[in-house]
Amino acid sequence: MNKQFFYNQQNNNYSISGSRLAHILALLPPKKDLKILDMGCGKGELAQTLINLGHQVYGADVSNEALEVAKKFLVRHYCFNFEDENWPVDLLKEKFDVVVASEVVEHVFWPVEFLNNLSLLVKDDGRIIVTTPNFLFWKNRLKMFFGFFNYQKNGLLDFGHIRFFSYDFFKKTIQQSQLKIDCERNFYPNFYKRGLSFLGALLPGLFAYQFIVSLTKKN
């Protein structure tokens, strides 16, 4: 089974939650008509929202079936395996204000190389927004403590996850790349309504369900 076949089978299982969407939007520069690349765009859920906000959106995905749905929303679309040595030449010629890679980095073998490739696609003053699940979220720790570990169709234990990120490993991965963290806006479920966001920020490795960061070039 190749990667495209796998994600063609999986694309109905992937969607973006309202909370993750809100956190991504909060990290966008306060400008209109941004040129944005949605890496791992799937069927174009995020793209539709970005377009409705007045931005130009390009999309890339390994699933040709998902792109068949998404391409109607996109300025241009690219179908390729993100772990290919050579990315599409016409994509590499583009420069974006923002690249969004939401729930993608955990699906690749070499996350540092993936981040470095993304850095080639943004303008010098551009940013890359990356989200990934926290494998050591407190509920996961509790399950593993009691001996429960089962892969799922989606979520923290998605069967397609190749890399599992803790807070420290995620930061170390970024430090090894050509990027640096400009801003963190991690998602702490239920903390906002209860006024406990400060606790999540104090212990993100325990309470963040998803790490959500804005990255810029080091140089």
Domain layout of the chain by residue ranges: 3-217
pTM of the model: 0.90
pLDDT at residue 219 in the model: 76
Cβ–Cβ < 8 Å for 42, 14: yes
180 neighbors 218 (Cβ within 8 angstroms): yes
Sign of CA dihedral 6, 19, 209, 217: positive
Amino acid at site 160: G
What is the C-alpha separation between 189 and 140, in angstroms, rounded? 14
pLDDT of residue 161: 73
What is the CATH class of 3-217?
A: alpha beta
How many other C-beta atoms can be found within 10 angstroms of the C-beta atom of residue 141? 11
pLDDT of residue 195: 59
Could you report the average pLDDT of every consecutive run of 10 residues in the chain (219 residues)? Answer: 56 74 94 95 94 96 92 94 92 97 92 96 97 89 81 65 90 97 88 63 87 94
The whole-number pLDDT of residue 92 equals: 94
d(CA 53, CA 113): 31
pLDDT of 128 reads 98
